[in-house]
Amino acid sequence: MRKRIRIELKPEEMPKQWYNVKADLPFKLDPPLDPETNEPISGEKLARIFPLGVLEQEVSTDRFISIPEEVLDEYVVFRPTPLIRATKLEEILETPAKIYYKYEGVSPTGSHKTNTALAQAYLNAREGVKTLVTETGAGQWGSALAYAASKFGMTVKAFMVRASYESKPMRKYMITLFGGDVVASPSEETASGRKFLQDNGNYSGSLGIAISEAIDRVLESNSTKYSLGSVLDHVLLHQTIIGLEIRKQLELADEKASIVIGCHGGGSNFGGTVLPFVVERLEEEKVRLIAAEPTACPTLTRGEYRYDSGDSAGFTPLLKMYTLGREFIPPSIHAGGLRYHGASPLVSRLLSEGIIEAQAFEQEEIMKAGRLFASVEGIIPAPESSHAIAATIREAEDARQKNTKETIVFTLSGHGLLDLAAYG
């Protein structure tokens, strides 16, 4: 029998800085463009929707950015998160590979999203913002931001994709519990919401539509700012605490990762997990970095690499990214958090440069992987996270067939306790 291992860091061993991979990349990213002029977007325009503290981080090229004390103080509630060896999964797969998972489900709202929510809430509160407006798909981001905003004396207004608002009420209750206000999108509350309702008769909504409504609302008022839970560089920056902790934990266990895996929606947990491994990848070409996405929303594996809008109405800056087109409305799958037409520009560029890989998975395969993981390891994974598990199982089976000694690390981005209906 293999030994059960859990690698913990003490609160005082938590990283005190986020890692900015842009300082180490041998290329410069393509800038976001103004949708009205097709020229690089001006700082003044962005400052209408984001606070300066966030914008500074978005464009920074410093290698390390200090995590504010106030944010570290809130991270201590659930960080550092554990790195656990999935020995029971290894045994049942009869694989020679070692499998470790970084468990982000211990966060107060159940996923990695709290890492950036707390950072963004603090940066907004510092500049006097009272309400954060945002979109949320299945509600993971809305609940994380409502939680974080409440820590810094703010509230949240969340436009929630109607399909989830109606079918998954639990996170709606969580947003309200933390003092937030949540409305089904498309809504009657914004001009773009009313337009979508009229033009398309589309009542089920999408993330792209909800983003349009959130930005619409932010532009109406001065005491509100917009907050995005994924995709942008500063969000991935905040999530690097995941990969930085993994590196420390592997060192403690005297291990070296050969394959690092994360599920991919907009790219924040994947980016946060793998960006701290990119330098190693550039130098030795040994460690493989794999993004796992659904075949129902195959942005990285089937999308085009081009400039596209982040939302459906075309309000956001144009981002150079893999995209299925801003009008793409993915079928409703259990992994609601992976239903986004675009991808992080940073992850997109790494993919186009061959630095990372992407794989797509059918829902049947990921739910099977999630059930197996729950039954042998004991933690019920979110359907989103199960994409990373499915990718891990494929690599572990490959290692068995080729009899290679891999050390696989994946991020279990959230628990599935609010997704039990999907398991049903």
Which residue in 363, 372, 322, 361 sits closest to 342, CA to CA?
322
Decide if 278 contacts 290 (C-beta within 8 A): no
In the bound complex, what is the minimum distance in angstroms from residue 383's beta carbon to ligand PLP?
A: 8
Task: Report DSSP letters for 255-275, one per residue.
Answer: ---SEEEEE-SSSHHHHHHHG
Four-residue CA torsion sign, 415, 166, 323, 316:
negative
CA 33 to chain centre: 23
Instruction: Supply φ then ψ for residue 360, to 5 degrees.
Output: -115, 145
In the complex with ligand PLP, which residue's Cβ is closer, 309 or 411?
411
- 420, amino acid identity: L
Instruction: Supply φ then ψ for residue 130, to 5 degrees.
Output: -105, -35
In the bound complex, what is the minimum distance in angstroms from residue 269's beta carbon to ligand PLP?
A: 3
In the bound complex, what is the minimum distance in angstroms from residue 116's beta carbon to ligand PLP?
A: 9
In the bound complex, what is the minimum distance in angstroms from residue 265's beta carbon to ligand PLP?
A: 3
Please work out, in degrees rounded to the nearest 5, the angle formed at the alpha carbon of residue 34 by the alpha carbons of 32 and 39.
85
**Gap between the Cα atoms of 134 and 383, Å rounded:** 23
| Nearest residue to ligand PLP, scored by beta-carbon proximity | 414
In the bound complex, what is the minimum distance in angstroms from residue 195's beta carbon to ligand PLP?
A: 27
In the complex with ligand PLP, which residue's Cβ is closer, 224 or 413?
413
In the bound complex, what is the minimum distance in angstroms from residue 376's beta carbon to ligand PLP?
A: 20
In the bound complex, what is the minimum distance in angstroms from residue 48's beta carbon to ligand PLP?
A: 24
Q: Find the helix or strand (DSSP H, E) in which 136 lies.
A: strand 131-136
Cα→Cα distances 417→89, 361, 369, 400, 410, Å:
20, 22, 16, 31, 20
Task: Report DSSP letters for 301-314, one per residue.
Answer: HH-EEEEEESSSSS
In the bound complex, what is the minimum distance in angstroms from residue 92's beta carbon to ligand PLP?
A: 23
- 344, amino acid identity: S
In the complex with ligand PLP, which residue's Cβ is closer, 168 or 264?
264
209: left (phi over 0), alpha (psi -120 to 50) or beta: alpha
Q: Which two tokens stand for residue 183?
A: 């409305």
Decide if 388 contacts 413 (C-beta within 8 A): yes
In the complex with ligand PLP, which residue's Cβ is closer, 98 or 226?
226
Count CB neighbours of 117 within 10 A. Answer: 33
In the complex with ligand PLP, which residue's Cβ is closer, 269 or 363?
269
In the complex with ligand PLP, which residue's Cβ is closer, 187 or 268?
268
Decide if 312 contacts 211 (C-beta within 8 A): yes
In the bound complex, what is the minimum distance in angstroms from residue 51's beta carbon to ligand PLP?
A: 20
In the complex with ligand PLP, which residue's Cβ is closer, 268 or 309?
268
Instruction: Note the residues at the interface with ligand PLP (CB under 6 A).
Output: 111, 113, 140, 230, 263-270, 337-338, 382, 384-385, 413-414
In the complex with ligand PLP, which residue's Cβ is closer, 141 or 152?
141
In the bound complex, what is the minimum distance in angstroms from residue 413's beta carbon to ligand PLP?
A: 3
Q: Which two tokens stand for residue 170?
A: 């639990």
